[in-house]
Amino acid sequence: MSSALQLAQGALLTAHGLDARHLEQVFGKMFAHRVDYADLYFQYSRAESWSLEEGIVKSGSFSIDQGVGVRAVSGEKTAFAYSDDITLAALEDAALATRAIARQGGKQVAAHLHAGKAHALYLPHDPIATLKADDKVALLEKLERMARSLDPRVTQVMANLAGEYDVVLVARSDGLLNADIRPLVRVSLQVIVESNGRREQGSAGGGGRFGYDYFSEEILQRYAKEAVHQATVALEARPAPAGNMTVVLGSGWPGILLHEAVGHGLEGDFNRKGSSAFSGRVGQRVAAKGVTVVDDGTIKDRRGSLNMDDEGNPTQRTVLIEDGILRGYLQDSMNARLMKVPVTGNARRESFAHLPIPRMTNTMMLNGDKTPEEIIASVKYGLYAANFGGGQVDITSGKFVFSTTEAYMIEDGKITYPVKGATLIGNGPEALTRVSMIGNDMALDPGVGTCGKEGQSVPVGVGQPTVRIDGLTVGGTA
């Protein structure tokens, strides 16, 4: 039995007078009528956040949450109930509530519980306890001093430090019992600069599944430099031109465009229902040759990684698009069963009070064979998008709109001047077919991504090399 499972059983079962026998008893009540599948999702979480503004740590928050979600599945129907009271009585009440979807038929018997397998991608420790409160305040104050010392035009600094400690345990009607202990930390920095009456802002940050000791002097200095650089570049930026042009996307965080414009369309629920632009296209060419996209939840310490998904299945590396050919979708257990394909370990939920749905973990485009310099030199006239802000995508049509936070013009194979107000407008599946050059500098984002879907937010990662896309629409201000 893994240490994570032992710790989770102690915190979520033993502490509340429960054991495996009680869970089997709950499944027995749910299976008194015919259902295809059932699971119990126990969770205990602690979270904190510290925020600095105007040189002072003005706010701090700390929360503790715990509970259990009870789910039964019959065909395409799902019944779900949850309680923040972890007791046998609450579990049995929730189990009875889920039986409304049961089919007619004889009594079934759930399997006896046994320990499942999971990865060991991060240490099962509490990151909140890795730094004293005074030291957390000092970290934010140091970050502010670093940012202000880099440029006298910095007029305002806002910094945030956040940490989570999540203990989850999954029990399933097929007998699997599995657990994960998930640390998560993040530092965010935003600066405002002002010159000659013009004000601009820049941001940076990072994190992952480790303790606060990750944020060394060197790491904090890097965040400060990135945020101030982005803001001061914006001070010099000219209005962006508009029109159809070649766009070069930088490596790392610009993979958020891939995540939004393509990744969501490759999730199993959208494709089972036929509502994705990629529905029914497995085995077909959906991207230019050389484009390979994977979702990998097994990268050590990454923000989007998990030892197991929220149905207890080990996460995995799933090839979605291989050399331009669509190979498959991201699956949870229900959609995989209905589509008659294997699960991929991508069932995720925000908390015990939410249903699991297929979601991305760390989604990235793999390396090509060009250097970034070769790609820039190949462009006669176009836009270099080094960093992105927010964006929107329509899953059904694949249409997207993304705003850049740092962008430059390319003229005669050289990056010339920065521009502001540039938005990228296009169609995700179509944009994949317009990829003409792929760099050899694939990088992952620094650990800041959060993905929203159906009202649920989960941490994710993105990544890509430098990529040239021909014929994207750029919306500008010039």
Cα atoms in the Cβ-side hemisphere of radius 13 Å centred on 464:
26
Pairing state between β 325-326 and 317-322:
antiparallel
Q: Give, as one character, the DSSP assignment of residue 147.
A: H
Which pLDDT score, from 0 to 100, does residue 371 have? 98
155/193 Cα distance (integer angstroms): 5
Which pLDDT score, from 0 to 100, does residue 13 have? 97
Contact assessment for residue 4 and residue 180, using Cβ atoms and an 8 Å cutoff = yes
Which pLDDT score, from 0 to 100, does residue 111 have? 83
Q: Which residues pair with 65 in a beta bridge?
A: 45
pTM of the model: 0.95
* 10-residue averages of pLDDT along the chain (478 residues): 87 96 93 87 98 92 97 91 96 88 66 91 94 95 97 98 98 96 98 96 97 97 98 96 96 92 93 94 97 98 98 98 98 96 98 98 98 98 92 84 95 97 92 96 96 95 97 86
In 397-466, beta strands by DSSP E = 399-411, 414-420, 423-427, 435-438, 443-444, 450-453, 456-459, 461-464
For 353-412, what is each residue's pLDDT tens digit?
Answer: 999 999 999 999 999 999 999 999 999 999 999 999 877 888 888 899 999 999 999 999
Which pLDDT score, from 0 to 100, does residue 321 have? 97
Which pLDDT score, from 0 to 100, does residue 106 have? 55
Q: How far is CA 215 from CA 85, 305, 370, 447, 456, in A?
A: 36, 19, 33, 12, 28
Q: Crossing angle, helix 20-30 and helix 88-98, to 10 degrees?
A: 20
Nearest to 331 by CA among 316, 317, 320, 346: 346
